[in-house]
Amino acid sequence: MNIHDLSDEFPITRKFNFQDNAAVAPISHRAARAMRRYVEQAEQSGPVDNEWYNQAHRVRELAAQLLNASAEEITFTKNTSEGLTFVANGLSWSRGDNVVTSAVEFPANIYPWMNLESHGVRLKMVPEHDGRIPLEQIIDAIDSHTRLVTISAVQFASGFRTDLAALGHACRAKGVLFCVDAIQALGVLPVDVQTMQIDFLSADGHKWLCGPEGAGIFYCRRELLAQLRPSAPGWVCMVDADDYGQYRLEFRSDARRFDSGSYNIVGILGLGGSLELWLELGVDRIAHRVLDLTDRLTDGVTAKGYRVISDRSKTHASSIVAFTSDRHDQSQIRRQLRQQHRVIISCRQGRLRASPHVYNTPEQIDQLIELLPAH
């Protein structure tokens, strides 16, 4: 597949210069095709002789391949928050425990932990410094009462990429659990749960995976499955779930122990279509191209006088470029780009945020730079 021309996989490129994948990305053609196939079958023949749940297990295997995990360590979620809540509500906490995170996380990675304060669990938040979250400050915040560190792989407002391998190593050395909100990385940057020593990971599929909203994945390291209490028991998560007449309260031993009921099959199959595409392209190739595009964008907006907030060093650069101007209204720039030129970016925390993906082109990057008002 030609990684430099993905217009057939992303028809949106024929109508828009879309560089807002860190918000809600367009779904890929393969995702749409998988969902249409399901809808047509459901309409015409219903569930008779369907293989939908077998296909869902295949998606689980694809997700495991993307993460360098096993399928038994993967289950599906309706969003990132649900997976993080599995961890927050599933661990056995003691009064006086604490959780370490940053002070600039997306709310999905704050409220599940903040909700533990009534149980005597303290949330410690390390501040951002000029768009960076110093690793040493995260590690220094870990003390003898820290049970878990939770962090975004990439920060939504700054694009700062956490050195997950270094942080995972430090957590493992200190005997602290390591949880990752991976929604701003999965599909565009390599994530290896083994190399990075990640214990728990959650990500919805509607950003860089280019799947539909409401279909995400949750990873739990095999050795921790039995320690994480399912917080929403239902029938699917039980041993012998298909034996409906026998009420046996015994959870499955794999990650399906967190499944409470029927799956969002159409969403999961759509997610599987995009996973097939990303694995075919190769995430390393995707990352290389996207980092080239965002380097080009960084150079261009800097030359026009904008201040780039994002750390663009090799370790911390990501697919998000956040930049500001003290001479222009950021929201007005975003509106004009959208309404007058069909160039789509975001504003987050008072910053312009562009987030191109592998299907974007250098010409689209240049168009965005050219259309920005001079500083």
In tens, the pLDDT along 234-275 reads 999 999 998 999 999 999 999 999 999 999 999 999 999 999
pTM: 0.97
- Structural domains in the chain? 11-19+282-371 (3.90.1150.10), 31-280 (3.40.640.10)
Q: Are 357 and 321 in contact (CB under 8 A)?
A: no
Q: Are 175 and 197 in contact (CB under 8 A)?
A: no
Q: Note the pLDDT tens digit of each residue in 150-181.
A: 999 999 999 999 999 999 999 999 999 999 99
pLDDT for res 128: 96
In this prediction, residue 307 has a pLDDT band, given cuts at 50, 70 and 90, of very high
pLDDT for res 256: 97
Q: What is the dihedral of CA 190, 161, 370, 338, to 10 degrees?
A: 90
Report which of residues 1 and 26 the model is more confident about.
Answer: 26
* Percentage of the residues of the chain whose pLDDT score is greater than 70: 99
pLDDT for res 49: 67
Angle at 218 between CA 211 and CA 204, to 5 degrees: 30
pLDDT for res 109: 98
SS (H, E, C) the chain: CCCCCCCCCCHHHHCCEECECCCCCCCCHHHHHHHHHHHHHHHHCCCCCCCHHHHHHHHHHHHHHHHCCCHHHEEEECCHHHHHHHHHHHCCCCCCCEEEEECCCCHHHCHHHHHHHHHCCEEEEECCECCECCHHHHHHHCCCCEEEEEEECECCCCCCECCHHHHHHHHHHHCCEEEEECCCCECCECCCCCCCCCCEEEEECCCCCCCCCCCEEEEECHHHHHHCCCCCCCCCCECCCCCCCCCCCCECCCHHHHCCCCCCHHHHHHHHHHHHHHHHHCHHHHHHHHHHHHHHHHHHHHHCCCEECCCCCCCCCCCCEEEECCCCCHHHHHHHHHHHHCEECEEECCEEEEECCCCCCHHHHHHHHHHCCCC
Angle at 297 between CA 294 and CA 300, to 5 degrees: 155
Q: Note the pLDDT tens digit of each residue in 280-302.
A: 999 999 999 999 999 999 999 99
- At 285, give phi and psi (nearest 5°): -65, -40
Q: What is the mean pLDDT of residues 93-103?
A: 98
Give residue 321's identity as a one-letter amino acid code: V
**Beta strand pairing status for 216-220 and 307-308?**
unpaired
Q: Note the pLDDT tens digit of each residue in 190-228.
A: 999 999 999 999 999 999 999 999 999 999 999 999 999
- At 172, give phi and psi (nearest 5°): -65, -40
Q: Note the pLDDT tens digit of each residue in 38-89.
A: 999 999 988 766 689 999 999 999 999 999 999 999 999 999 999 999 999 9
Return the number of other C-beta atoms located less than 10 Å from residue 199's C-beta: 23
Return the number of other C-beta atoms located less than 10 Å from residue 4's C-beta: 10
On average, the pLDDT of the chain sits at 96
Q: Kindly provide the b/e burial profile for residues 336-354, where b requires at least 16 CB atoms within 10 angstroms of the residue's own CB.
A: ebeeeeebbbbbbeebbbb
